[in-house]
A and B are shown apart, each in its own frame.
Chain A
């Protein structure tokens, strides 16, 4: 398996623009997580899905952030409009969660909002 695939690897955009991050989880996994990492706040869980259904989005910082999982093999995280403080590395992870299962992370998207 190719692992969790994220795109793009790097995104540079201007404040106010819409940004869409993409994630393809490992085939057969039933859960998908979006994390954000900054130096100041470390790794923060934004939202996770189980069987394509959002279970907990309490970590989503503002209404400017939205996430979707239209099917088991694809998810998006959208920021509209983007702001400089959204600059971070965004990670997607997937797992088969039943009891104590491990997460597999993608390589991340480095987002810079100018």
Chain B
């Protein structure tokens, strides 16, 4: 069964600090992995998308890494801001046509002043 597990479930950090969110998956065969940011009461917004051959990708203060061998990904947030407070969802897309994506349960991040 395809699964995507994220850790930690929730995280509180001080403004300006860095943090790293983890995503482990069992989806196979693998096509791509995306990190989304979901503000409370809003739809998810894509941060990064990584394919099998990519190891790291940055989007501003967000840097995602991917290890396709160990099936792990991380999202590193640098110099956190209050606006980073949201849920971060890891989504894995299998290959082989229009198969269903698998959503992680998300990490709830709260940045406090």
- A and B held together in a complex: no
